[in-house]
Each structure stands twice: as structure tokens, then as C-alpha cells.
Amino acid sequence: MSRIATVHRKTGETNISVTINLDGSGKADIATGIGFLDHMLNAFARHGFFDLSVKVKGDYEVDGHHSVEDTGIVIGQAIAKAVGDKKGIKRYGSCTLPMDETLSMCAVDLCGRPYFVSDACFTAPMVGDFDTQLVEEFFYALSYSAMINLHFKLFSGQNDHHKIEAMFKSFAKAMDEATQFDTRITEVLSTKGSLGESIDSEIDCNEEYSKKPLKTDYKWSDFKLGPDNLVPVVVQDYLSNQVLMVAYMNEEAFNTTIATGKMTYYSRSRKELWIKGNTSGHFQYVQDLVADCDKDTILAKVKQIGAACHTGSYSCFFNSIAKIDL
């Protein structure tokens, strides 16, 4: 069984192509335009025994943020696609890896539920041509697009180059373990019988999304509209049920969503339609649209590729303001 995947992604900021072979020998062909990131991805391929090709064209005249974050997104998508239905694999992997004075631990769970935790911090703003703030951005983006739990803990370390390199290498070793087959595992390693939905189709954001109309008996006139003739939309990840964002639809946005299967909203500030992914490349494909009991709010359950929030966060809801005191 071939576990090779290719993903293309083009936005107004980056143009990225990634191919990964999970059963490779550590061959790498990397050209991100950022030398230190090339070095890290070469190390990831070599120490994880993944064959990896990464080609990136980015808006380097701005800075490296978009290129690094989007590279994480596309590598994560490629991993998710290559892993497939996860039957027979170990699912979990971990590695505690030394590099001189640095000791990095990485643990992964290919569970289909994205989560990222890291206590890594850095003292230097740059390592070579790489902004150290982007380490977290890269791994956060990768973990959410790959739909994996990803944890890092740095037990020691002073040199930022060593710390970052140890993180990439420990991640490589953890992923190598998690993706390996175990003859004792005949299906998926889960009591639920499933570890999320596998990605079988080619992901190519260079091409116009092929229209997939939704089936519905609802008409816009069935909704109770406010004075602005808009309906609020609560957007939810259809696998994890995590709330991603809140937006609005007018009649044209609703009809476009039904006709294409791709989330389309109405911007109250710009007073125009906007389709999720047109500029960011972070797409939302409809799995289910549900009206509330009063028919004045829509719950959209979506398959999301990339982040929902303009900050790069998977969800727009991450600022805790109050909670019960236990």
C-alpha cells in the first residue's frame, strides 16, 4: 500500500507544493526560500525516514510569517492524506531527544482531533533568517491541518538553534513511530472504531472548487429575518464540534452556499459577499446546515482546511473571559 500524498495550495500570499512518502528513506528536496526552515525540514525528513518535497513561493518582502505558517498547513494536509484511514498503525508516538545542552520531548496522537501544546520559549528574535516566533505558528498550523494531538516539552536548553532543531527531530521520530504498522492492530487503534475521516481526494487549492450543490427544501423566505435582512451563522467543526466562528448570511450568500457547498458569507462592514478561502486559502466545505427552533439562526457544520481566524488560530474563540471557579 502506497502512503504517498501530494498537496498544492495557492493563496494571495503563498504558492506551496508538498509531497510526502511516509514509507521513504529520508530523502528531501526542500526549497522554502528560508534557509533555516529548509534545514529543519531536511532534518525532519532524514530523522523520520520520510521522503519529503517542499516547494514554497511566498511574500518574503513582507516577512516569513505567511510562508512558514502556510508550509505547516500544507505539510499537515499531506500527512493527513498519506496516513489515510489509519488502520493497522500505532497511532501514538513519542521521543525524548538530546541535542547538546537541549533535551526535547515530543508526543503525538494521530487521533483526528487537533490539539497543540508547547512550553518552548526562545531568547533570540531570529535564528539565521528565521523568526523564532514562527516555530509555534508552524507546529500549530501543522497539528490542526493534520488533525493530530501534538505536544512539546523542553526540559533544558540555552541555544535557540539547538532547541528548535531538537523539536523538529523529536517530532520526526515521534511521527515515524506513530505512523508505523503493528501486526497486532488489524483495524484502527480505538474503541470507537474510527480515528476521524481519511482524506482520499486530491487537495489542490490552485483549482476552482468543483461545485457540489447541497440538497435542501429550505428557502430564504423560511427564515425569520432581522431588520438588516441577515441571518447569523454559527460555524462548527463537523468532527470535533468545536465552534470555529460566527458570521452572517444574506439571501445571496445562502443561495451561493447551497449551490456550491462552500461557505459563503455577507460582510456587514464591507457590505459584500465573501467566500471563505478566496484570499486566505483556509477553506470551509459544508457537511450540514441546521436551522434553530425559531428559524432565525443557522448552524453550519463544516470540514475546515486551515484556520478560521485571521490570526491563524483554528477557531476564532480562544480568549477566555470567565469560567467557573472550582
Which has the minimum average pLDDT: 82-91, 199-208, 263-272? 199-208
Q: In this predicted structure, what is the pLDDT of residue 239?
A: 79
Residues 134 and 232 in one domain: no
Spatial separation of the C-alpha atoms in residues 120 and 136, rounded to whole Å: 8
Three cell numbers, residue 146: 493534520
The mean per-residue pLDDT over the stretch 46-50 comes to: 98
pTM of the predicted structure, to 2 decimals: 0.71
Residue 202 covered by a domain: no
Among 10, 18, 4, 1, which residue's Cα sits nearest to residue 72? 18
Per-residue pLDDT, 280: 57
Enumerate helices (H) and strands (E) in the chain, giving the number of each: 5, 17
Question: What is the predicted pLDDT for the residue at 196?
Answer: 66
State CA 282 to chain mean position distance: 9
Output the domain CATH number for residue 67. 3.30.230.40
Instruction: Tell me the C-alpha distance between 184 and 143, whole Å.
Output: 27
Looking at the DSSP assignment, which residues form a beta bridge with residue 21? 4, 51
Q: What is the pLDDT of residues 197-219, one digit of tens each?
A: 555 444 444 434 445 789 999 99
Same domain, 161 and 236: no
* Sign, CA torsion 303/304/309/315: positive
Statement to judge: residues 113 and 221 lie in one domain: no
At 115, phi and psi to the nearest 5? Answer: -160, 140
Count other C-beta atoms under 10 Å from residue 289's C-beta. 19
The 10s digit of each residue's pLDDT in 110-123 is: 998 888 999 999 99
Q: For the residues 258-278, what does the mean pLDDT come to?
A: 87
Rounded Cα–Cα distance for residues 315 and 244 (Å): 4
Per the domain annotation, does 233 fall within a domain? yes
Asked if 247 and 236 count as a contact pair (C-beta separation under 8 A), the reply is no
Q: Quick one: 215 and 170 in the same domain?
A: no
Q: What total number of domains does the chain contain?
A: 2
Helix (H, G, I), strand (E, B) or coil at 97: strand
Q: How confident is the model at residue 53 (pLDDT cuts 50, 70, 90)?
A: very high
Structural domain harbouring 90? 4-178
